[in-house]
């Protein structure tokens, strides 16, 4: 009898743990909610809360950015020279769509300059990616290489996708004018349970962010300049109400099943000990 009581006690503790786990799943579904989320039921195209205007579509390089630079004419030039001639190069790991990618990159120092193999420090802060690439290309051409074609990307620029996408995680903004649809395509589209009316972009100051709501059902929404992505954008897509309800029912079922086991066991013990 004490053994059976211990078993029942253990099962009850398991139910309590399962209940907390179920609550955790439901709370995860409500991350990043805002009072203005009610507009998703009526939005036609794009709706903006706390509009901060249209930013420059061409990103300007900043201090502490990490630049990946290579000569397209000689694919090994950047890697070989970088590993041997530039002690300031960093071999960073950047998350892209749930994966890890090794990228040899060069940091922009506090003086706004990047220290590159063979040519030393070049001022790049305040330049667009294209402007910086052309400047570096000309310097290499004059000092070292014959007809170089320099390719430059800022490897620390990223957006985060959460929710009903083919893949979640961080995605690099490797090009200027990267759009929402570009990133959704990289993520493998949206899931079968996604509600296309509920897509939300959280942008800017986290204490007072700009919120951009998008109805993916309307093709005209894709023309909005607000959908050109910016560094550190968070993109959230919720499930349909029916999918969310099904998920809650599944969570409830996971809690009820062990409870029924305990009840059946209690009935069995009561019957045996009568």
Average pLDDT score over the chain: 80
Taking residues 236-241, report their average pLDDT.
90
**Per-residue confidence (pLDDT) for residue 99, from 0 to 100:** 35
What are the φ/ψ torsions at residue 238 (nearest 5 degrees)? -90, 160
Q: Give the homologous superfamily in CATH for domain 33-56+157-242.
A: Outer membrane lipoprotein wza domain like (3.10.560.10)
| Range name among 54-58, 171-175, 247-251 with the lowest pLDDT average | 247-251
Closest among 8, 51, 59, 1 to 265, alpha carbons compared: 8
Coil vs helix vs strand at 181: helix
| Confidence band for 7, pLDDT divided at 50, 70 and 90 | low
**Per-residue confidence (pLDDT) for residue 27, from 0 to 100:** 42
| Confidence band for 100, pLDDT divided at 50, 70 and 90 | very low
Out of 10-14, 20-24, 213-217, give the one with best mean pLDDT: 213-217
**Per-residue confidence (pLDDT) for residue 201, from 0 to 100:** 97
Percent of the chain's residues with pLDDT above 90: 51
C-alpha 28/C-alpha 21 separation (Å) is 11
Task: State the pairing for strand pair 234-237/199-203.
Answer: antiparallel
Taking residues 147-151, report their average pLDDT.
89
Looking at the structure, give the CATH architecture of the domain made up of residues 66-154: 2-Layer Sandwich (3.30)
**Per-residue confidence (pLDDT) for residue 84, from 0 to 100:** 33
Residue 78's Cβ-side half-sphere holds a number of Cα atoms within 13 Å equal to 23
pLDDT at 97 over 80: no
Taking residues 147-160, report their average pLDDT.
92
**Per-residue confidence (pLDDT) for residue 144, from 0 to 100:** 81
What pLDDT, in 10s, does the model give residues 16-44?
A: 555 554 444 444 455 688 999 989 889 99
pLDDT at 135 over 90: yes
Per-position DSSP letters for 45-59, written without gaps between them? SEEEES---PPPSSP
Q: Give residue limits of the domains in the chain.
A: 33-56+157-242, 66-154
**Per-residue confidence (pLDDT) for residue 228, from 0 to 100:** 95
What pLDDT, in 10s, does the model give residues 189-207?
A: 999 999 999 999 999 998 9
CA 206 from chain centre, in angstroms, equals: 15
Residues belonging to the chain: 274
**Per-residue confidence (pLDDT) for residue 171, from 0 to 100:** 96
**Per-residue confidence (pLDDT) for residue 47, from 0 to 100:** 96
| Beta-carbon count within 10 A of 268 CB | 11
pLDDT at 102 over 80: no
| Beta-carbon count within 10 A of 267 CB | 10
């Amino acid at each position: 009898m004490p053994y059976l009581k211990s078993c029942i006690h253990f099962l009850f503790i398991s139910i309590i743990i399962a209940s907390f786990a179920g609550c955790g799943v439901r709370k995860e579904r409500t991350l990043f909610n805002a009072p203005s989320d009610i507009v998703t039921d009526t939005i036609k195209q794009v709706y903006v809360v706390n509009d901060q205007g249209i930013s420059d579509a061409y990103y300007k390089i900043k201090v502490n950015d990490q630049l990946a630079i290579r000569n397209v004419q000689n694919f090994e030039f950047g890697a070989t020279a970088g590993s041997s001639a530039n002690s300031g190069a960093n071999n960073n790991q950047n998350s892209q769509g749930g994966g890890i990618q090794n990228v040899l990159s060069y940091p922009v120092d506090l003086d706004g300059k990047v220290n590159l193999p063979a040519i030393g420090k070049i001022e790049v802060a305040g330049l667009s990616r294209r402007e910086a690439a052309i400047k570096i290309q000309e310097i290499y051409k004059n000092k070292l290489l014959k007809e170089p074609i320099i390719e430059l990307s800022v490897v620390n620029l990223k957006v985060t996708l959460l929710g009903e996408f083919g893949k979640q995680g961080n995605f690099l903004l490797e090009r200027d004018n990267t759009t929402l649809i570009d990133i959704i395509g990289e993520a493998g589209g949206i899931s079968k349970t996604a509600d296309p009316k509920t897509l939300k972009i959280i942008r800017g100051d986290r204490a007072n962010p700009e919120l951009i709501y998008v109805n993916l059902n309307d093709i005209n929404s894709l023309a909005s300049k607000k959908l050109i992505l910016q560094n550190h954008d968070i993109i959230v897509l919720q499930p349909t109400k029916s999918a969310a309800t099904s998920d809650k029912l599944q969570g409830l079922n996971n809690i009820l099943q062990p409870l029924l086991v305990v009840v059946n066991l209690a009935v069995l013990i009561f019957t045996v000990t009568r």
